[in-house]
Structure 1
Amino acid sequence: MRSQAITQLVVGLAITTGIISVAMAADPPGGDKDMVLIPKGEFTMGSGEHSDEAKHQVVLDAYLIDKYETSNGRYKEFMKATSHPAPAYWDDPRLSKSNQPVVGVSWTDANAFCKWDGKRLPTEAEWERAAKGPDGDNHYPWGHKLDPKKANYGQNVGRTMPVDSYPEGVSGFGVYNMAGNVFEWVEDWYDLTYYKESPALNPRGAEKGYNFANQGPVKVLRGGSWLAPETSLHTSHRFWNQPDNNSYGVGLGFRCAKSAVGTSDEAVQSGREAFIQALVAMGAEKNVEALVAIEKALVLDPGNQEYLATRELINKSMKKK
Structure 2
Amino acid sequence: MHKSLLLPLVFLAGCTSHPITSKTLSEAEIADIQSRVEARYPELSTEKTQAVTELVVRALDNMVAIKGGTFMMGEFKIPCEPGSESLCYSDFYRDNDYAHKVTLGDYALSKYETTIKEFDLFRQLRGKKPYENELRQRESRQYLFAPKKPAWTRDWEEPNAYCQWIGQLAQREVSLPTEAQWEFAARNRGKNILYATDNGRIELGRNYTSSDDRSEMNDVGRFPANPLGIYDLSGNATEWVYDWYSETYYRDSPSYEPKGPQEGAGHVIRGGSNIETPDTNTTVNRYHDKDIGFYSKFYGFRCSTW
2:288 maps to which of 235, 240, 253: 240
- Could you tell me which residue of structure 2 aligns to residue 43 of structure 1? 71
- 8 Å CA contact 1:185, 1:219 repeated in 2: yes
The Cα offsets for residues 48-73 of structure 1, whole Å up to 9 and x where unpaired, read as 33311122221101111111000011
Query: Partner amino acid for 1:145?
Result: R
- Number of positions where the alignment pairs a residue of Structure 1 with one of Structure 2: 224
- Could you tell me which residue of structure 2 aligns to residue 70 of structure 1? 114
Query: Partner amino acid for 1:121?
Result: L
**Cα distance in 1 for residues equivalent to 2:256 and 2:23:** 25
Q: Of the two, which has the highest radius of gyration? A: 1
Pick closer, same or farther for the CA change 1:102–1:246 going to 2, 3 Å.
Answer: farther
| Most deviating of 60-69 and 81-90 | 81-90
**Cα distance in 1 for residues equivalent to 2:181 and 2:260:** 11
**Structure 1, unaligned stretches of length 5 or more?**
1-20, 22-26, 210-216, 260-321
More helix by share: 1
- Could you tell me which residue of structure 2 aligns to residue 108 of structure 1? 157
TM-score of the two chains, using structure 2 as the length reference? 0.67
- Could you tell me which residue of structure 2 aligns to residue 132 of structure 1? 187
- Could you tell me which residue of structure 2 aligns to residue 219 of structure 1? 267
**Cα distance in 1 for residues equivalent to 2:23 and 2:103:** 22
The Cα offsets for residues 145-193 of structure 1, whole Å up to 9 and x where unpaired, read as 33223123766343110112102xx222111000110010001011111
**Cα distance in 2 for residues equivalent to 1:235 and 1:151:** 14
Three-state SS of the structure 2 residue aligned to 1:51 is: coil
**Structure 1 residue 193 corresponds to structure 2 residue 248:** yes
Pick closer, same or farther for the CA change 1:188–1:134 going to 2, 3 Å.
Answer: closer
Deviation at 1:95, TM superposition (A): 2.2
Deviation at 1:201, TM superposition (A): 0.8
Q: How does 1:1-321 map to 2 (within 5 A)?
A: 29-30=24-25, 31=57, 32-47=60-75, 48=89, 49=91, 50-53=93-96, 54-88=98-132, 91=136, 92-118=141-167, 119-134=174-189, 136-142=191-197, 143-148=199-204, 149-152=206-209, 156-167=213-224, 170-209=225-264, 217-242=265-290, 244-246=291-293, 249-259=296-306
**Cα distance in 1 for residues equivalent to 2:218 and 2:194:** 22
- 8 Å CA contact 2:72, 2:190 repeated in 1: no
**What fraction of aligned residue pairs are identical, expressed as a percent?**
30
**Cα distance in 2 for residues equivalent to 1:58 and 1:28:** 32
The Cα offsets for residues 91-131 of structure 1, whole Å up to 9 and x where unpaired, read as 24342001111113321111111111112111000111111
**Cα distance in 2 for residues equivalent to 1:94 and 1:157:** 15
**Cα distance in 2 for residues equivalent to 1:45 and 1:139:** 12
Deviation at 1:79, TM superposition (A): 1.9
Pick closer, same or farther for the CA change 1:70–1:155 going to 2, 3 Å.
Answer: farther
- 8 Å CA contact 1:153, 1:226 repeated in 2: no
- Could you tell me which residue of structure 1 aligns to residue 54 of structure 2? none
TM-score of the two chains, using structure 1 as the length reference? 0.64
**Cα distance in 1 for residues equivalent to 2:118 and 2:295:** 21
Deviation at 1:206, TM superposition (A): 1.8
**Cα distance in 1 for residues equivalent to 2:209 and 2:143:** 14
Deviation at 1:28, TM superposition (A): 7.1
- 8 Å CA contact 1:152, 1:225 repeated in 2: no
- Superposed CA RMSD: 2.3
**Cα distance in 2 for residues equivalent to 1:172 and 1:163:** 17
- Could you tell me which residue of structure 2 aligns to residue 275 of structure 1? none
Deviation at 1:144, TM superposition (A): 4.0
More strand by share: 2
